[in-house]
Every structure is written in structure tokens, then in C-alpha cells.
């Protein structure tokens, strides 16, 4: 049975910057994205941070998906395998960060935008979500 995470957080934003010191900045965090008329793509990033209970050295998988509010699948990133990192010691919580870029083709949606959900799955279990509204 997979170990439960200590915490999983998700942020939708315009850009994610990673500094040489490994610090991360989420730029222009939003829940609504206005798509210009004539643009058929919604471009944004999803920053996921996951923290483990101390001593979790097992391999894990993370998957980020986007659905309509009705549950209809819209887009997803490939599943990503990882193990938690420990900067100080194994008695502290482990951590992992994943930046996922979305460039969603809106044409298959038939021009119907609105509310969507970003879902985070850790080892197949839903652990976090964030709403995003796409509008013209």
C-alpha cells in the first residue's frame, strides 16, 4: 500500500522560474485565463509540490491532468516517476517539485470554454486539485 503524503499543493500560473539556488518562483498565479480571439491554445504551467512523511524512500509516480467540471478529460501530462529528496536528514519530511507545462488545443472543445479542474494524482490516488476558468 502506498504511503500517504504529508502534503501536496498545486498552483496554476503563467510561468515558473527555477533559480540556480534551486529556489522556485510561480509568476502570475491565476484561476482565470482570458484567451484572445483567434488564439486556439491555452498556455499555462502547473506547479506541484509534494512532501512526504519522514523516511519515505519508496519510488512514486505523479500525474497531472485537466478535465472539464463535468469530469470529461481534456489534457494530461505523462506520468512522472520520482523519489522524495531529503536536504537535511531522513528524519525530516522529504520533498519533490514538478513543473508541468500545458498548451491545450481548444479546437476539440468546440469553442465551449468555462470552468475546468487541474487534478494531481500521486501513485494513482487523487491528492490535490485546482480550478481554472478559460474565457474569451
Q: For 54-111, how does the pLDDT look when each residue is reduced to its tens digit (9 = 90+)?
A: 989 999 999 999 999 899 999 999 999 999 999 777 788 999 999 999 999 999 998 8
In a domain, 60, yes or no: yes
In a domain, 2, yes or no: no
In a domain, 57, yes or no: yes
1, pLDDT greater than 70: no
In a domain, 105, yes or no: yes
How many C-beta atoms surround the C-beta of residue 2 within 10 A? 12
User: Quick check: 66 and 116 in contact, CB under 8 A?
Assistant: yes
In a domain, 1, yes or no: no
In a domain, 28, yes or no: yes
In a domain, 120, yes or no: yes
DSSP structure class, residue 117: E
What phi and psi, each to the nearest 5 degrees, are found at residue 124? 85, -5
In a domain, 107, yes or no: yes
Q: What is the CATH number of the domain that holds 25?
A: 2.60.40.2550
Provide the number of structural domains found in the chain.
1
pLDDT tens readout for residues 12-46: 999 999 999 889 999 999 999 999 999 999 999 99
How many C-beta atoms surround the C-beta of residue 134 within 10 A? 20
pTM summary value: 0.92
Domain limits for position 85 = 7-135
Amino acid at each position: 500500500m502506498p504511503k500517504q503524503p504529508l502534503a501536496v499543493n498545486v498552483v496554476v500560473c503563467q510561468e515558473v522560474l527555477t533559480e540556480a539556488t534551486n529556489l522556485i518562483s510561480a509568476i502570475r498565479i491565476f484561476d482565470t485565463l482570458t484567451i484572445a480571439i483567434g488564439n486556439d491554445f491555452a498556455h499555462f504551467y502547473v506547479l506541484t509540490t509534494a512532501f512526504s512523511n519522514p523516511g519515505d524512500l519508496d519510488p512514486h509516480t505523479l500525474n497531472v491532468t485537466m478535465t472539464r467540471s463535468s469530469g470529461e478529460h481534456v489534457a494530461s501530462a505523462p506520468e512522472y516517476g520520482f523519489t522524495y529528496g531529503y536536504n537535511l536528514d531522513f528524519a525530516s519530511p522529504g520533498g519533490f517539485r514538478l513543473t508541468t507545462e500545458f498548451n491545450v488545443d481548444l479546437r476539440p472543445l468546440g469553442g465551449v470554454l468555462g470552468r475546468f479542474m487541474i487534478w494531481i494524482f500521486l501513485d494513482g490516488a487523487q491528492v490535490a486539485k485546482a480550478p481554472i476558468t478559460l474565457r474569451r
